[in-house]
Amino acid sequence: MEHIKITAATVESISTIQQIGKETFYETFSGSNTKEDMQKYLDENFSDEKVKSELNIDESMFFIAWDESLPVGYLKVNVGAAQTEDQGNTALEIERIYVKSSHHGKKVGQMLYELAVVTAEQLKKDTIWLGVWEENPRAIRFYEKNGFIAFDRHIFKMGDDEQTDIMMRKTLSS
């Protein structure tokens, strides 16, 4: 999409990250979780303090996708100690690719994913990994299409509900 631009997020991007994060997480997962669990997750994970602290982690990077002046998605990647699970110093984690449902099928997610690959290459990482909810077949297909394979599972807590994420990895060509 020629009118989609991706910019690096800064601490001044807190409200944009919160807006996209809350909206896309709710769109994607509200139908599969209780209202109480959903609200608790949104309140805790997209609070001013939480987002500001994430934006200030040296080994995490955020990028925002814009359709003209409208934020439509974002990417969060982690390396080193910022990874949610230690996969070593040669790995980059895609912690989040969030795209508003209004822009599904418009290649925004692919653009954000490709930026993660470029970032991994610039940082001289040889693998990219992520966790994706086992009940999100659309996302699983997206990652499989991009060459990821499952290598493990881990638990993601949504309120009191323990959900299983499939951990997927892709080896980058050198």
| Candidates 41, 74, 113, 143; catalytic one | 143
Adjacent-strand bridge partners of 94: 77
pLDDT 10s digits, 11-40: 999 999 999 999 999 998 888 888 988 899
Residue 72: domain span? 4-125
Q: Is the pLDDT of residue 84 over 80?
A: yes
What's the CATH number where 45 sits?
3.40.630.30
Would 54 be classed as within a structural domain?
A: yes
Would 83 be classed as within a structural domain?
A: yes
Average pLDDT over the chain, rounded to an integer? 93
Selected residue with higher pLDDT from 57 and 135: 57
Q: Is the pLDDT of residue 2 over 70?
A: no
Q: Is the pLDDT of residue 114 over 80?
A: yes
Q: Is 143 a catalytic residue?
A: yes
Retrieve residue 47's tokens: 């609070």
pLDDT of residue 174: 59
Mean predicted confidence (pLDDT) in 42-58:
94
> What's the first-to-final CA gap in the chain, in angstroms?
28
Would 154 be classed as within a structural domain?
A: no
C-beta neighbour count of 18 within 10 angstroms? 18
Would 151 be classed as within a structural domain?
A: no
Adjacent-strand bridge partners of 167: 131, 152
Instruction: Domain count for the chain, please give it.
Output: 1
Would 85 be classed as within a structural domain?
A: yes
pLDDT of residue 4: 95
